[in-house]
Amino acid sequence: MTVYEHFRPEERVFIDHILDMKERVIERYTPRLTDFLDPRQQRILTSLIGGEDGIRLSLCGGYEHAERKRALLLPPYIEEQGELFRLAYLEVHYPDRFGSITHPELLGSLTGMGVSRDKIGDLLLESGKVQFICTQELASYFALNLTSVGKMRVSCISIKSEDLLHSENKWQEFEGTVSSLRLDTVLSEIYRLPRAKASEAIAHERAKVNWEIVDKRDFDVHAGDCLSLRGFGRSKIISCDGLTKKNKIRIQYGKLK
């Protein structure tokens, strides 16, 4: 049995990257820092390295409830320090009397500047404030070049970590049953849609599993997966709890409030 058998085929490139980092830390005794990882990638990383002798693993996204985090792999003799994560915190100023900025608009503007999503952490939007976290080397680039979000003219300034909005995702939990763990079937249950409509949305690349677009309706989902359907919000599979008497699968899931 190989390590890959525990994960999905499309995750093999990421697994190889982590195993290479692990080998470098062990052989060269030097710290290694990842880009921002989504929660699924963090779970994979922890399962591959979490109990490894000779390596200390630490995750940081800038605040306590951060979703996207950078991982630091340390040899045992190096002390962990916050600055080793090389995070930057920025705030976007705009004339809110003319409108507001949405999460998709902000993300689209940032990645539209030629920056990989892996270099950007959480986007924080609350009570008229707009902030985001990124790798340290991109802070000055965004401060100078982020001048618009959507149709809104904006400016961007660096802030301190203590000035961040400390928001935590709030999930409303539900229970349901599905005939299978196919993506179209699960989305149909969670969002109360006809299965044909869920399948159509998947075919039009409106569905994501663990932050990646999935266009196959028969894609199998698992406990711990984060799902989203454009126009319907985000959800996650909390657990799969066996079969009913009619051979349906019991699932517990959460929907982002």
Identify the pLDDT of residue 35.
97
Say which residues have a Cβ less than 8 Å from residue 249's Cβ, sequence separation at least 6: 177, 178, 179, 180, 181, 240, 242, 243
Quick one: pLDDT at residue 51?
65
* Structure-model confidence comparison of residues 87 and 76, the more confident one: 87
**pLDDT for residue 79 is more than 70:** no
Are 183 and 226 within 8 A, CB to CB?
A: no
Q: What is the pLDDT of residue 212?
A: 81
pLDDT at residue 173, rounded to an integer? 95
User: Is residue 191 within 8 Å of residue 198, measured between CB atoms?
Assistant: yes
For 201-223, the pLDDT digits (tens) are 999 999 999 888 899 999 999 99
- pLDDT at position 113 is 96
Q: Give this prediction's pTM.
A: 0.76
* pLDDT digits 0-9 by tens, 171-198: 889 999 999 999 999 999 999 999 999 9
Average pLDDT on 39-54 reads 82
What is the reported pLDDT for 52?
Answer: 63
Q: Residue 36: what pLDDT?
A: 97
What phi and psi, each to the nearest 5 degrees, are found at residue 32?
-130, 135
Structural domains for the chain? 3-84 (3.30.1370.160), 87-163 (3.30.70.330), 171-256 (3.10.290.10)
The rounded mean pLDDT for the chain is 90
- pLDDT on residue 53: 66
